[in-house]
Amino acid sequence: MSGDMNLLEVEDLRIELTADNGRYPAVEGVSFTIARGETVGLVGESGCGKSITALSVMGLLRHPLALAGGKIRLTGQEIQDLPPAEMRALRGKRIAMIFQEPMTALNPLKTVGRQIAEMYVLHQGANWNDADARAVEALKQVKVPAPERRARAYPHELSGGMRQRVMIAIALACEPDLLIADEPTTALDVTVQSEIVDLMKELCSAKGTAILMISHDLGLVTDICKRVCVMYAGRIVEQQDSEMIFNRPQHPYTQGLVASLPRLGMRARHGRQRLTEISGVVPGITAYPDGCRFHPRCGRKTEICEKVAPELTPLADGALVRCYHYG
Amino acid sequence: MFGFVLRRVLQMVPMLIAIALLIFVLFSLIPGSFATGQQDEGLGLDMAVVARMRAELGLDDPLYVRFGRYVQQLATLDLGISFRSKQPVIEMISARLWPSLSLTAAAMGFAISVGLPLGFVAALRPGSVADLSLMVIAVSGLSLPVFWLGILLMYLFALTLGWFPSFGYGDGGLWHLALPAMALGVSPMALLARTTRAAVLDIMNADFVRTARSKGMNEFRVVVWHVLRNALVLVLTTIGLQFGSLLGQGVVVEKLFAWPGVGSLLVDSVFQRDIPAVQGCILMITLFFLVINTSVDIAYKLIDPRIRYT
C-alpha cells in the first residue's frame, strides 16, 4: 500500500430511507476523500444528508436509514460491511464523533469525568482508577478550568461550551485518526463557537487527527477546512478548495450560499440592502424532483435540468461541480 | 441530604392532619350509626336501647364537640376505642399491621422482580414475538379483576395442584403468602412492565445513547452503563404510586384469602359502622401512602443528581 494513501475514502455512497410506501435514496453517489491530518468540510442546509453521511462512516445508521451501496475505506480497508464487533473496535478508537447538542449528548446521570474515563476502559483496557485519573488529564487538555473538580460534575452543572469541551475530550481520548464533528458549534453562543473551533483545530493538528467538519455555516467551514464539499438533497453538488469557493463558486446553489452570507462593510460600500436568500426549501427525501434536484429553486434552469440529472464535472485544481450551467 | 429528608418527613404532618379532618367530617355526614346498625341486623332493639347506646358512645354530642375530642385523641396518638370490640383501635390495627405490610411488600416484590425484567426484554426487541406476547400478558394482567384472578389462582395452585394453601394466614410464612401476594401483585406487575418498556424505548433513542454507541460500546454495556439508571428514574414514579395504593387495594385480596390485614378490618368495621376503627384504618393506609411517597422522593434524589433541594 502506498504511503500517501488516503485516510478515508467514501465512494459512491448510497443510503436509503425505508418508508411505508417504499425505499427512497436519502444520499446518492456521494464520494469524497480525506487525507491524513486534513480537514474537510461538508456543507449544506438542514436535511440535505450531511449528518447521515457522517453516521454511515461511523456505522451508526439505524432504522429506517440503511446503507444501500458504495464503499467506505479507512486506510484502504473496507469498513462498510465489517462485523459489529470489529466496527466497535474502530469506533471511538480510530474514528470519533462530536455531536451537535452537548446537553443531550452526555448522560445526565454520570459525572463527565466518568464519561471520558469510559473511553480508556473500553479501548485501552485501563482500570477505572487509572481511567478516572486520565479523564482529569483529558479535561486539562481541552482547557477546562479546575479539571479535578469538573471531572466530578454532572453535565447539567456545566455550561454549553464546557459540555462541548467534554465531548471533544471524549472524542480525542484515544487519539483517533479521524474526528467527525457534526455541527459542533451550532448550539453555542457566537463567542464560545470560535473558542471551540480553535480548540478542535489546535488539538487535532497537534495529534495529526483529520477532521470531517459538518455544518450549515459556510463561513465557519471555510475558516478551518482546506477543502469543502457542498451537499444538496443527498448529492454532492460542488467540491472545491476553501479559498476558491468564496471567490469562484461554480454551482448556482453554492453561489446562493455565498451570496447569503452577511459581510462586514457591505452596508458601507453598497448602502442598505437586504441579505440575499435562496428561495424555496430543500425537498424532503421522499419528494426529490427528477433531473437536477436543485432545479425548482434555480434561476438558470433549462429543459435538460428538469429531465436528466447532471454528473459531476471535473474543473481545474481538482474541483468538481454537478451542473449544466456552472460558472 | 439530611435536611432534605427531614423537610420531606415534616411535610407529612400537615398532610396527615388535613386527611384526618377530612375523614372525620365525611363520617359525620354519613347517615346511620353504630346504634342503628345493630337494629338493622334485626336484633330488635327498641328505641330506648338505641338512645342509651348513642349516649354511651357519645354520638349525641354536637359535631364540634366530637371533633374536638377526636383531635385531642389524635394528638396523643389515641385512635379511640372500637364501638364493637371495646378495644383501643390502635391495638386492633397494630395486630393487623404486620400481615398487611408483608402482603403488600410481597406483592410489590413480585411486581418489581417480574415486571421490570419483562419490560426490559420487550423494549430491547421492540416488535419481536417476545415483545408482543409480553405486552399481551401485561394488558391481560391489567384488565383481570383482582377477585377473579384470586379465585383462578386458588383453583389452579391450591385446589388442582395443591402447591399452596387456598386461604388463611397460617404462620404468616411464604407458603401462605404466595397466592394472595401474586393476586395482588399482578396488576402492578403488568403496569410496571408497560412503563418500563416505554421508558427503556424512550432512553434507547436518547442522544447520549448514540454517543455511547459512537464510543464503540457493545449494546450490553450501552444498556448497563447508560440506559438502566435513566430508565429507572422514569419507572420509579410508577413503583411509588403502585406501592402506596396497594395497601388500599389489598382490601379485596385480604377478604378473599381470609388474610387478617388492615384491609379486612376496614371492611368489617365499615359494615358495623364502627367509625373509630374505620377512621383508624384509613389513617393508617394514608400514612403508609405518605411514607412510600416520601421514600420515592428520597430515592429520586439519590439516583438523579439533577433534582434539587427545594
Say how many residues make up chain B.
Answer: 310
Give every CB contact of residue A131 below 8 A, 6+ residues apart in sequence. A117, A118, A119, A120, A121
Question: In the Cβ-directed half-sphere of B36, how many Cα atoms lie within 13 Å?
Answer: 5
Does the residue A101 lie in any domain?
A: no
Q: Is the pLDDT of residue A185 over 90?
A: no
Q: Which domain holds residue A25?
A: 8-84+177-187+208-321
pLDDT-wise least confident of A70-74, A115-119, B297-301:
B297-301
More confident residue, B248 or A310: A310
> From 1.10.3720.10, 2.60.120.260, 3.40.50.150, 3.40.228.10, which CATH number describes the B90-303 domain?
1.10.3720.10
| Proportion of chain B above pLDDT 70, given as a percent | 93
Nearest to A233 by CA among A98, A41, A10, A53: A53
Does the beta carbon of A168 lie under 8 angstroms from any beta carbon of chain B?
A: no
Q: Is A108 on the interface with B (CB under 8 A)?
A: yes
pLDDT at A68: 93
The minimum CA-CA distance between B19 and chain A, rounded to whole Å, is 36
User: What rounded mean pLDDT belongs to chain B?
Assistant: 84
- Vertex B73, ends B71 and B75: CA angle to 5°? 70
pLDDT bin (cut points 50, 70, 90) of residue B36 is low
Round to whole Å and give the CA distance between B79 and B75: 9
Own/partner pairs for B304-307, CB < 8 Å, 24+ apart? B304/A108, B304/A109, B304/B233, B305/A108, B305/A109, B305/A154, B305/A156, B306/A108, B306/A154, B306/A156
Q: What pLDDT is recorded for position A2? A: 44
Would you say residue B269 has pLDDT above 90?
A: no
Q: A109 vs B217: CB contact, 8 Å cut-off?
A: no
Interface test with B, best of A55, A99, A109, A124 (most B CBs within 10 A): A109
Break chain B into its structural domains and give their ranges. 2-81, 90-303
Residue with cell 467534554: A166
What is the tens place of the pLDDT at every residue in B163-209? 887 777 777 677 778 888 888 999 999 999 999 999 999 999 999 99
Residue A65 pairs in a beta bridge with A17
pLDDT of residue B44: 59
Domain contains A263:
yes
**The total number of structural domains that make up chain A:** 1
The predicted pLDDT at position A166 comes to: 95
Contacts of A197 (CB under 8 A, 6+ apart): A184, A185, A220, A223, A224
Instruction: Find the range with the poorest average confidence among A51-60, B20-29, B100-109.
Output: B20-29
Query: What whole-number distance in Å separates Cα of residue B80 and Cα of residue A15?
Result: 75
Q: What is the mean pLDDT of chain A?
A: 90
Q: Is A104 close to B208, i.e. CB distance below 8 A?
A: yes
Of B208, B210, B225, the CB nearest to A60: B210
Q: What are residue A313's DSSP bridge partners? A: A321
Contact call for residues A299 and A252 (beta carbons, < 8 A): yes
Does a structural domain hold residue A116? Answer: no
Å between A107 CA and nearest CA of chain B: 5
Close Cβ partners of B237 (under 8 Å, ≥ 6 residues apart): B296
Distance from CA of B227 to the nearest CA of A (A): 9
Q: How many CB pairs under 8 A join A and B?
A: 70
User: What's the mean pLDDT in A191-215?
Assistant: 92
pLDDT band at A1 (very low <50, low <70, confident <90, very high): very low
What is the CATH number for A46?
3.40.50.300
Is residue A94 situated within a structural domain?
no
Q: Stretch A32-61: mean pLDDT, rounded?
A: 92
What pLDDT shows up at residue B37? Answer: 57
Residue A201 is assigned to a structural domain of this protein = no
pLDDT bin (cut points 50, 70, 90) of residue B276 is confident
Q: Cell 375530642 sits at which residue?
A: B69
Is A158 part of any domain? no
With CB atoms and an 8 Å threshold, state whether B211 touches A105: yes
Amino acid B39: pLDDT: 54
